[in-house]
């Protein structure tokens, strides 16, 4: 039953940074022998690709508006990654348990991603780049930290992820007006680049 909170937490982390989540899970499984990590995530090719993409995301996520364009592309990637991790944790047998963990991981990743993307649009309206970098570093730290914690203490990590997700949804709703301004600024930025 510890797989359910692990799928939830890794889904939440995938919504913030799918590549770092896959990389952390794979590295901890491969080098620390953590049993809950699916063998498919420990493969060298998966670790190399996840590492390269995590590095690209690390830098893209620090640049205002580039981060929002990256988030737009990631709207498909992050939920799929969350669902795939959940399915792999269940053994990907096509049974109800696989569907359950894939659904938990994918839906949690989708909500987490939408909250992240909305909040980042709101942050992009601030005139200085420091807030964008600080928020991005906080997201990276939270994704890596909670993923690592989830492998050792799945239930407490899931509780923390659930609280952060709920707080994120509330803050995103409260900042809807700023998010709209961020969206409009992103469109102006994109149009100026054409």
Mean pLDDT of 106-118: 94
Q: Identify which has the larger pLDDT, 69 or 43.
A: 43
Is the pLDDT assigned to residue 188 strictly greater than 70? Answer: yes
pTM confidence score: 0.88
- Structural domain boundaries of the chain? 3-193
Q: What is the DSSP string of the chain?
A: -THHHHHHHHHHHHHHHHHHHHHHHHHHHHHH--TTS-GGGGSHHHHHHHHHHHHHHHHHTTSTTHHHHHHHHHHHHHHHHHHHHHHHHTTS-SSHHHHHHHHHHHHHHHHHHHHHHHHHHHHTTSSSSHHHHHHHHHHHHHHHHHHHHHHH-HHHHHHHHHHHHHHHHHHHHHTHHHHHHHHHHHHHHHHHH-
């Amino acid at each position: 039953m510890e797989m359910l909170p692990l799928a939830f937490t890794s889904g939440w982390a995938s919504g913030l940074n799918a590549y770092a989540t896959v990389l952390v899970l794979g590295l901890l499984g491969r080098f620390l022998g953590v049993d809950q990590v699916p063998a498919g995530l420990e493969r060298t090719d998966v670790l190399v690709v996840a590492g390269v993409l995590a590095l690209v995301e690390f830098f893209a996520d620090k640049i205002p508006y580039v981060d929002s364009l990256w988030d737009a592309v990631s709207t498909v990637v992050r939920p799929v990654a969350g669902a795939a991790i959940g399915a792999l944790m269940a053994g990907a047998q096509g049974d109800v348990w696989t569907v359950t963990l894939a659904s938990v991981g994918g839906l949690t990743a989708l909500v987490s991603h939408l909250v992240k993307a909305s909040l980042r649009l709101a942050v992009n309206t601030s005139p200085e780049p420091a807030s964008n970098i600080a928020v991005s570093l906080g997201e990276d730290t939270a994704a890596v930290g909670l993923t690592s914690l989830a492998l050792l203490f799945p239930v407490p990590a899931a509780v923390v992820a659930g609280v952060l997700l709920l707080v994120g949804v509330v803050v995103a709703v409260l900042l809807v007006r700023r998010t709209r301004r961020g969206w409009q600024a992103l469109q102006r930025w994109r149009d100026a680049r054409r």
